[in-house]
Amino acid sequence: MIPSTRTIEVNRDVQAERKQAAAEARNAFTRNGTLVINLVSSPGAGKTSLLEATAKYWKGRWRMAVLVGDIATERDADRLAPFTPVRQLTTGGACHLELELVQRGLAQLPSDDYEFLFIENIGNLVCPASHDLAEHLRVVLLSTTEGDDKPGKYPKMFRTSHAMMITKTDLLPYVPFSSEAAIEDALRIQGNLHVLHSCAIRNEGIEDWCLWLEHRRENLLKSKEVCL
Partner 1 sequence: MHEYSLVRRLISHVLEAIESSPPCNVQEVVVSAGPLSGVEPLLVVQAFDQLKSDAGLRVCRLLIEATDLMADCESCRCSFAVQDFVFRCATCNSSSITVTAGDEFRLLRVKVLE
Query: Long-range contacts of range 180-184, CB-CB < 8 Å, 24 or more positions apart?
Result: 181/148, 181/149, 182/142, 182/148, 182/149, 182/150, 182/151
Q: Does 187 bind partner 1 (CB under 8 A)?
A: yes
Helix (H, G, I), strand (E, B) or coil at 50: helix
Residues 90-119 that bind partner 1 (CB under 8 A): 94-96, 98
Helix (H, G, I), strand (E, B) or coil at 163: strand
The residue count for binding partner 1 (CB under 8 A) is 34
CA dihedral (16, 99, 39, 136) in degrees, to 10, reads: 60
User: By CB under 8 A, which span of 39-47, 82-90, 122-130, 205-213 interacts with partner 1?
Assistant: 122-130
d(CA 26, CA 28): 5
Which of residues 3 and 176 has its CB atom nearest to partner 1 in the complex?
3
**Rounded to the nearest whole angstrom, what is the least distance from the CB of residue 136 to partner 1 in the complex?**
19
Helix (H, G, I), strand (E, B) or coil at 81: coil
Q: Does 182 bind partner 1 (CB under 8 A)?
A: no
Residues 32-91 that bind partner 1 (CB under 8 A): none
User: By CB under 8 A, which span of 14-22, 31-39, 54-62, 104-112 interacts with partner 1?
Assistant: 14-22
Which of residues 11 and 111 has its CB atom nearest to partner 1 in the complex?
11
In DSSP terms, 68 is beta-bridged to 88, 120
Which of residues 126 and 211 has its CB atom nearest to partner 1 in the complex?
126
Among 31, 188, 202, 222, binds partner 1 (CB under 8 A): 188
Which of residues 3 and 173 has its CB atom nearest to partner 1 in the complex?
3
d(CA 189, CA 11): 27
Cβ-Cβ contacts under 8 Å for 203 (sequence gap 6 or more)? 53, 57
Residue 117, number of CB atoms within 10 A of its CB: 25
User: By CB under 8 A, which span of 8-16, 35-43, 50-58, 214-222 interacts with partner 1?
Assistant: 8-16
Which of residues 59 and 153 has its CB atom nearest to partner 1 in the complex?
153
Please report, as ranges, the residues that interact with partner 1 according to CB under 8 A. Answer: 3-15, 17-18, 94-96, 98, 126-127, 129-131, 152, 155-156, 159, 187-192
